[in-house]
Amino acid sequence: MYAIKHIKGIAMNDIVYILKKDVKPEELRYSLRSVCENFPYRKIWFYCGCPEGIKPDEYVPFEQKGVMTWEKTTSTVEQICKNKNITEDFWLFNDDFYVMKPVEDIPPYYDRTLYKRIKQIEKRRGGAPSLYSMQLSLTRDALQNEGYKTFNYAVHMPMLINRKKALEVIRKYPNLRMFRSVYGNVLDIGGEQHADVKIISKDFEPDRDCGFLSTGDGDMSESKVGRYIMERFPNPCKYEVFSNSAILEQRTVDSKVHTEPTESEGQS
């Protein structure tokens, strides 16, 4: 069953964040606050990066391998899956994942086929492919040639990964890009269709009934979704151990939240 495991009401699955070495703490701080409030877990792990002012339960300063983003991700997931101190099933998180409501069980989520995702990206670019859409195309073609389904599982929500099965997938298809979609389709995990929750536009009004949200690039306080998340989780969590510089940064962020406008004039 694709669900959180409980023993006497305590969730026993770990959460793993893969972070850049130079990751900025702002998004991560609010992601952790949302997890502590709404998402049951055993331990929180950071792999690769760990910003000042934040201390997870466990940190592994792994040096990612490869040049392309997909190579770095795959090499890191492989190391995570070899770590027997991590629960057999773990939740894969990004620093811009926010859990907006209390969670018990989560199905696998996909939004559409990879083909439709590729066409969506190219339409926004006037028909021209991007580096990302080309990687998606290679992933789609490889999966299709092997007889697998081609759903897009990269929808900016937590995904439950089984360490043993993930290692088998990576070792069998080491050159396949887009780990989440490869994992989901090769193992035929199915799931529920759900729109990607990442909001790139700074002026787009977030769906306040959505269980998950994700922010685009840039300062959170400059977007409506970012300000909503910051206002929703104003209190530090147990993983925030402030140094002097981190305290100053947090005061600056809090000041922006309370001084910038927050009217609801989002795009439809």
pLDDT tens sequence across 36-71: 999 999 999 999 999 999 999 999 999 888 888 889
Nearest Cα to Cα of residue 78 among 144, 12, 176, 149: 176
The half-sphere exposure of 129 on its side-chain side, counting CA atoms within 13 A, is 10
Strands 6-7 and 10-11 come out as antiparallel
Q: Write out the DSSP string of the chain.
A: --S--EETTEE--EEEEEE-TT--HHHHHHHHHHHHHH---S-EEEEE---TTB--SEEE-----SSSHHHHHHHHHHHHHH-TTS-SEEEEE-TTEEE-S--S----EE-SBHHHHHHHHHHHTTT---HHHHHHHHHHHHHHHTT---B---SSS-EEEEHHHHHHHHHHSTT---HHHHHHHHTT---EE----EE--TTPPP-TT-SEEEE-SS-GGGSHHHHHHHHH--S--TTB---HHHHHHHHHHHHHHHHS--------
**pLDDT recorded at residue 268:** 25
Q: Consecutive 10-residue runs of the chain (268 residues): their mean pLDDT?
A: 42 91 94 97 97 97 88 94 97 97 91 96 91 93 96 97 97 91 97 95 91 93 95 97 55 49 31
**pLDDT recorded at residue 217:** 86
- What HEC string does 238-260 produce? CCECCCHHHHHHHHHHHHHHHHC
What residue has token string 């049951």?
40
Round to whole Å and give the CA distance between 44 and 86: 10
Query: For residue 248, what are its two tokens?
Result: 């100053």
**pLDDT recorded at residue 7:** 38
**pLDDT recorded at residue 249:** 52
Domains of the chain listed by start with CATH number:
6-198 (3.90.550)
Instruction: Tell the burial category of 257 from Cβ atoms under 10 Å away from its Cβ (0-12, 13-18, 19+).
Output: middle
> Is 101 within 8 Å of 143 (Cβ atoms)?
no
